[in-house]
Amino acid sequence: MTATVEITRFRVAPDRAGALLEARPAMLADFRADRAGFLGARLIRLAGDEWLDIVDWRSSEDFAASRAKGANLPGIAAFFAAIDALVSSEEGAEEGAEEGA
C-alpha cells in the first residue's frame, strides 16, 4: 500500500500554543467528518515556536481535495487561526506502508 503524507511546518506564538492545542480535537473531528481519505495526523512540537503536522492520506487526490476545501468548518478554522506563519508544506509518498501500522 502507498499512502500520501502531508508534512507541514509552521510557527505559533508561545501565547497561542494553548489555543492551537485546544482547537486540535475539533479540527481532527472535522477532518474525519468532511475529508475523504483522511487516515490520521500527528502534531509535533519542535524547538522554538515551530510545529510539525504530519497528516496521512489515502491518496494524493484525497489530499488535493482537502487542500481545496481549506478551513471550511469551524474546528479547522480555529486550528488554522492559531498559526502565525507557514514555514513549509510538502507532500510525499510512504512506500511499503503496512495496514494498521
Q: What is the CATH number of the domain that holds 46?
A: 3.30.70.100
Q: What confidence score (pLDDT) does residue 100 get? A: 54
Q: Is residue 83 part of a domain?
A: yes
Element holding 54 (H helix, E strand): strand 50-57
The phi, psi pair for 40, rounded to 5°, reads 160, 175
Taking the model in full, what pTM does it have? 0.90
Structurally, the chain folds into a number of domains equal to 1
Q: Encode the chain (101 residues) as per-residue pLDDT tens digits.
A: 679 999 999 999 999 999 999 999 999 999 999 999 999 999 999 999 999 999 999 999 999 999 999 999 999 999 999 999 999 999 999 886 565 54
Q: What confidence score (pLDDT) does residue 101 get? A: 47
> Measuring CA to CA, which residue among 54, 50, 52 is closest to residue 13?
50
Give me the domain span that covers residue 46: 3-94
> Measuring CA to CA, which residue among 75, 14, 22 is closest to residue 45?
14
